[in-house]
Structure formats: structure tokens, C-alpha cells
Amino acid sequence: MRILTEPIGSIPRPVYLQQAMTAFAGGQIQQTELEKLFDKATQETIKELEATGSPVISDGEQSKPSFVTYPMQGSKNFAADGVVIPFADGHTRQLPKLTAGPFHYTTFANSYLQKAKQYSSLPIKQAVISCSAMSLLYPGEGIDGYTRDQFLADLVNDAAYDIRSCLDSGAYNVQIDFTEARLAIKLDPSKQLLSAFIDLNNQVLDRFTTEEQKRIGVHTCPGGDHDSTHSADIPYSELLPLLFKLHAGNFYMEYAAEKDKTAVLQSIKENLGANQRIFLGVTDVLNPQVETAGQVSDLILEAAEIIPVNQLGTADDCGFSPFGDDTSTAREIAFAKIRARIEGTKLAEQILSK
């Protein structure tokens, strides 16, 4: 019985690239020099992922500013004082705020895919940011001459093209990062905000055929930044009944770090659609302890007692440096955890096939 396994996204950048990005920000090196180092790190990351035995790879987001902000690179229509995301340890992240319309992506994820394809012949997945996360860029006070409805119409068009261009360019699949899902319930326990997010994302997903939706997945987690989360206190049982209403074929969930795993599995069983597949996170990206293949296999075997194996896959809980935090997790630990995931998945396959 084959169990699919895939990476989620970001991998900490090598030290030389971290130093170069600091130097560029300080005006000490030129854009062309930084771009060369982005390419070098992307190629190295892909080769290291291949060396783990990963059947599906990504570029590790080596040249993305962050998983959220890549679509607005270079745009001058933003201010820094947007929505604040609070984390459990007290630190925050703040999104940009749109200051003038119209809004359009300045960078599409396909540009990262095209670069990655130069360095590998293996299947490559590409992550994109959710339409709902981007909707938070519109200010509550509004923008003169550019209504929220106009903004959302432009946003849906560009978010759909972001996915479409990746699929058309040969991406193995496309993963929508929807990490704000559990946070939406924390901010609004009535779930009206989450329902609005689901509806908005479905406007994008409905631009694709049923067959295309099978190649589109949604990633959700309680956030991960500086080894802290923003919504781990929200149980999955509150989220999953709505999450699986998204018109996507694959779902990637943080799981290894969950305390009540039985409750999570039961909620998945109750809500997962017949044509949907769940990829459980089997490596805790916020814990520096590297899992063994046996520990990963045990997680999978426990899940297989509740979830049909033909609907079960594995992944990492989250990206290892989603907001560009390249220091909280060592690069070598990220690759060691990925290798443990792959070896543990193979071990579980062997046991289940007996």
C-alpha cells in the first residue's frame, strides 16, 4: 500500500545567503549579486532534498521574502502598518496594508517554479498564498476610489492565475497556504470570519475543473514562527467541518505537535470527503529533536487505524522558516527531519503491506 509523502515549503537558508540578504538591505551588494546567491541556494536546496529520497520536491522558498508577501514584491502601494498577527510567546508579525488601488500581483509563484525546474527532473510542487490571507491587506477604513468589492474581484482573478500558471507550467501540484484558518476562529469564535475565508477561497478554486482540483491542496497549521504558534489552542474539531468544504483534493495538516491526536483523527474521519486526501504532518518543525523513522512510522500506523490508507499521506507539520526566520531551526535539522519522514513513511508502507 503506497503512502504519498510531500514537503510543505520553506527550509532555512544557508548562512551565506542570510549574510548576503543583510548586506543587500544595507546597500553593500547589488541585486545581481544577491540573485546569483538565490540561485545557488535554490540549486543546493533542491539537490539536498533529492538526497533525502523525497519523491516530490520544492525549492525550499530560498528566494521568497516570505510565504505571504511574495505577490507584492516591489509594489509601492503598501504601508507597513497592516494587520498584526500575535504569537503565543508575545512576538508579532505585521502584514502590509494596501494604500491605493488597483491591486495586482507583481510576482507570481510560477516564477519560482520555473527556476526550480532548471535544477531537477523530479516532480515539483509549488506553494501559493491563499486568497483569504491576501484579503487582509485591504484596510478597514477603505480606499478612496477603490472599493473592497473591486479589490476582492481583482484579488480572486490574480490568485486564480497564480495557481493556473503553476499548473500549466507542469507543477506536480499546487499547495495553498491557509495558515490563517485556525487563527480566524480565535479572532471570531462565531466562525463568520472563517466562513467568509472559505467562501472567498472557493471562488478561486471554482475556476478549476474537478480534475484540476485533484492537483490542488490546502495547508493549515496553527502558525509557526520563532518556535511559537498563533492558534494552537483552537482544536481541529472546530476547524475541520468547514475546512473540508474547500473544493480541493488534498489537505496538509499540522499533526505531530498536536496533543490530542485521537481527537484529531476522529474529526478527520468524520469530515473528510470521499475524494479528498489528508497529508498528516509527522515531523514537529518547532521541536529541534529529530524524529526517528520508527516514531514517524508509529504515527502513521496509528492514523491508519482510523483513516483509510488510500486517503492518507504524510508531510511535515509546516514549513521550517515560513516568515523568513532562518535561525530558529538549523538547516541540517530540517533536512534530517525530512529524511526521517520519508524513511518512516516507507517503513509504515512495508508494515501495512504485510
pTM for this entry: 0.96
Angle at 131 between CA 261 and CA 205, to 5 degrees: 80
- Comparing C-alpha atoms, which of 135, 222, 126, 219 is closest to residue 178? 219
Q: pLDDT tens digit string along 268-317?
A: 999 999 999 999 999 999 999 999 999 999 999 999 999 999 999 999 99
Q: pLDDT tens digit string along 75-92?
A: 889 998 889 999 989 999
Mean of pLDDT values over 211-219: 98
Distance of CA 249 to the CA centre of its chain: 15
- Comparing C-alpha atoms, which of 142, 132, 227, 140 is closest to residue 183? 132
Q: pLDDT tens digit string along 232-244?
A: 999 999 999 999 9
The helices-and-strands tally (H runs, E runs) of the chain is 12, 11
Determine how many CB atoms are found less than 10 A away from the CB of residue 227: 15
Distance of CA 132 to the CA centre of its chain: 13
Q: Are 77 and 100 in contact (CB under 8 A)?
A: yes
Q: Is the dihedral of CA 254, 258, 262, 266 positive or negative?
A: negative
Mean of pLDDT values over 184-202: 97
Q: Which letter does DSSP use for residue 255 in this model?
A: -
Above 90 in pLDDT, residue 202?
Answer: yes
- Comparing C-alpha atoms, which of 286, 268, 307, 293 is closest to residue 87? 286
For the chain, domains (ranges, CATH) are 4-12+55-352 (3.20.20.210)
Q: What is the pLDDT of residue 66?
A: 86
Q: Are 256 and 229 in contact (CB under 8 A)?
A: no
Above 90 in pLDDT, residue 4?
Answer: yes
Q: What is the pLDDT of residue 178?
A: 97
Q: What is the mean pLDDT of the chain?
A: 96
Mean of pLDDT values over 13-24: 95
- Helix, strand or coil for residue 227? coil
Mean of pLDDT values over 152-172: 98
Q: How confident is the model at residue 1 (pLDDT cuts 50, 70, 90)?
A: confident
Q: What is the pLDDT of residue 206?
A: 98
**Which cell goes with 343?**
524513511
Q: Are 9 and 61 in contact (CB under 8 A)?
A: yes
Give whole-number Cα distances, 263 to 76, 233, 273, 274, 280, in Å. 46, 14, 18, 20, 14
Q: How far apart are CA 123 and CA 240, in angstroms?
A: 29
**Which cell goes with 32?**
545581481
Determine how many CB atoms are found less than 10 A away from the CB of residue 290: 17
- Helix, strand or coil for residue 312? strand
Helix (H) or strand (E) holding 74: none
Strand partners, 179: none
Q: What is the pLDDT of residue 118?
A: 96
Mean of pLDDT values over 125-147: 96
Q: pLDDT tens digit string along 47-86?
A: 999 999 999 999 999 999 888 889 998 888 999 888 999 9
Mean of pLDDT values over 16-25: 94
Q: What is the pLDDT of residue 186?
A: 95
Q: What is the pLDDT of residue 303?
A: 98
- Comparing C-alpha atoms, which of 49, 41, 217, 60 is closest to residue 122? 49
Give whole-number Cα distances, 94 to 148, 171, 331, in Å. 20, 30, 25
Mean of pLDDT values over 203-216: 98
Above 90 in pLDDT, residue 224?
Answer: no
Cell 517554479, located at residue: 113
Above 90 in pLDDT, residue 226?
Answer: no
Q: What is the pLDDT of residue 276?
A: 98
Taking the CA atoms of residue 306, residue 239, residue 179 and residue 50 in that order, the dihedral angle to the nearest 10 degrees is 10
Determine how many CB atoms are found less than 10 A away from the CB of residue 265: 21
- Comparing C-alpha atoms, which of 347, 348, 342 is closest to residue 6? 342
Above 90 in pLDDT, residue 245?
Answer: yes
